[in-house]
Structure 1
Amino acid sequence: MTSTEDLLIKAKKFFNDKRYEESIEILKNLFKKNPQSEELKKELINVLFSYGFYLSDEFVMEFEKAIKYFNKILEIDPNNYRAIYNIGIAHFNMGDMNNAMRAYNTAIKIKPDYKHCYYNIGLIYEVKENFKEALKFYKKALEIDPKFIYALQAKKYVKEKLNAQKREIPDS
């Protein structure tokens, strides 16, 4: 019979070889037998995140499958705001702005100072060309982290768009 340590080593080897599903299967079975093990929980969540990120990559683009694996994290840790946030990113990348918005707002309820959610909500409004709302959310992200470069750049861009819109509207 193989020991937990041997199986954990095997799972890590599979992970290092990017054989995520095999690693997940071993870790899932180990965690099922040892649900109190924080080490196994952490390892399993780490591999699930890595695989979800891989599936969400711009060259792989298997967003629905990525959502499935991020949801597996939520089965283990229902308040994992990062998993919820990444579900939002996958929905955004599929063009499903409503579910992306829902995910970001859910993550914010768990972690109200998660700047990335506010930034991504701003992106949704920007895509919808609602620049005033986008600006509000970029500013909210910057309240949390004044040096958040993505929000700084997005805020500048959206302000330029709003100024251009003002110039297009003739005075009455």
Structure 2
Amino acid sequence: MKQIEQKITEIQNELKESPNNAELLNELGVGYHMLGEYQKAVEAYRQSIAEDAENFKVHFNLANTFFEQQEVEKAVNYYLNALDIQPDYVPALNNLADVYELAEDNDRAQELFEYITKIKPDDPMGYFNLGNFHLRTNNTVEAGKCYKKAIELDPKFHEAYNNIGFILKHIGQYEEAISYFEQCLEIAPDYEPAQKDLAACREALSK
């Protein structure tokens, strides 16, 4: 916390010399956001945008701050602003999809999660996030396909192994689930969700 406050003081001193520096104003907003001083963050981001309206990352940062303040409509508008400037900016697409899902607009959310896998077909995280969406909406078959695609792209993606194991555990396929949990733990031995579910599967088989 003190480091952030010190950084803010340094930025404020630099802004005395360059009060219209859009990058410094953005950094100031980031600092305030990290401290939870969201209104000050909003003011800094808006000043930054006034100086450089084409920096999509500042629109994205402002959207995140509005989301933290539960001002969802404003958050959506600024995510869309970021995407108008940079249409393939995945963090904005992801966060916008999350907002739509929270608003129970699952069709729009799914459309965005799927779009990410189309524009970044070699990125395993896109398939993992789409899989998580399907899992949250109880579409376990599609979720499993997405996790397998993530593993195909990144064989060390331990969370994807874990999530397939989770699906198999919940449909009572304990032996197959154990195999996936073990593969997860080979990559990440301290991953607690897999440790707990592996123990639960072994216990279920022993009964």
Q: TM-score range by the shorter chain?
A: 0.7 to 0.9
Give the 5 Å matches for 1:26-105. 26-31=81-86, 44-56=89-101, 62-105=105-148
1:117 aligns to 2:160 (yes or no): yes
Shift of 1:63: 4.3
Aligned residues: 151
The CA distance in 2 between the partners of 1:63 and 1:123, in whole Å, is 22
Shift of 1:125: 0.8
Work out the percentage of aligned pairs sharing the same amino acid.
19
For the Cα contact (< 8 Å) 1:63–1:93, is it kept in 2? no
Higher relative contact order structure (alpha carbons within 8 Å, sequence separation ≥ 6)? 1
Shift of 1:6: 1.8
Partner amino acid for 1:104? Y
The CA distance in 1 between the partners of 2:79 and 2:101, in whole Å, is 17
1:152 to 192, 195, 203: 195
Partner amino acid for 2:95? S
1:65-87: CA deviation from partner (whole Å, max 9, x where unpaired): 33222223234322221121111
Shift of 1:14: 3.0
Partner amino acid for 1:134? A
The CA distance in 1 between the partners of 2:116 and 2:198, in whole Å, is 33
For the Cα contact (< 8 Å) 2:147–2:164, is it kept in 1? yes
The CA distance in 1 between the partners of 2:50 and 2:122, in whole Å, is 31
Shift of 1:121: 0.5
Partner amino acid for 2:66? D
Closer, same or farther: CA 5–88 of 1 in aligned 2, 3 Å: same
For the Cα contact (< 8 Å) 2:98–2:109, is it kept in 1? yes
Asked which structure has the greater CA Rg, the reply is 2
For 2:65, the equivalent position in structure 1 comes to 16
Q: RMSD in angstroms over aligned alpha carbons?
A: 2.4
TM-score with structure 1 setting the length: 0.75
For 1:168, the equivalent position in structure 2 comes to none
Helix, strand or coil at the partner of 2:196: helix
For the Cα contact (< 8 Å) 2:59–2:79, is it kept in 1? no
Partner amino acid for 2:190? K
